[in-house]
Amino acid sequence: MAVMKARTAKVMEIPEEEKRLEKQLCFAVYATAHAFTRAYKPILDRVGLTYPQYLVMLVLWEKAELPVKTIGEQLDLDSGTLSPLLKRLEQNGLIKRTRDSRDERQVIVSLTPKGQAMKGEVNTIMSSIGEAIGCTLEEMAVMRDMLTRLRGNLNASI
């Protein structure tokens, strides 16, 4: 019979003030994500993209052709969320989806000439959002790196 060792969690004493909603890191990240989406909306409306569609296009502007699975992995999106995004991008003439000739189960997504041409909008989009953020490139890089580390820690804990 195996003896299981009790796992004791370290519980730190948290001051009452730190338990308030506005003091929660998770809420700050959540609210900031929503603020980003709202800030991007008028910028992306001009080019006819939603924020999730823009993220898909960013992935495809890096590599013009990728399997759906790879796009989903890069964006941390499941196929139920990604498929409607891809369908709309295809309807708008920005991408095309084809079955992989070597593996019929895989769908390959590639940019159309119209989708490739839209890459020229990236500088305008990024400059506009950069103004809205109000931070230097260096400050943005520090925050991005901290959030990336935070996400990695959270993913490792589950």
pLDDT < 70: residue spans in the chain: 1-9
The answer to whether residues 29 and 146 touch, using CB atoms and an 8 Å cutoff, is no
68, 79 Cβ separation under 8 angstroms:
yes
What pLDDT digit, counting tens, does each position of 111-150 carry?
999 999 999 999 999 999 999 999 988 999 999 999 999 9
Q: Name all domains of the chain by residue range, CATH numbers in brackets.
A: 25-147 (1.10.10.10)
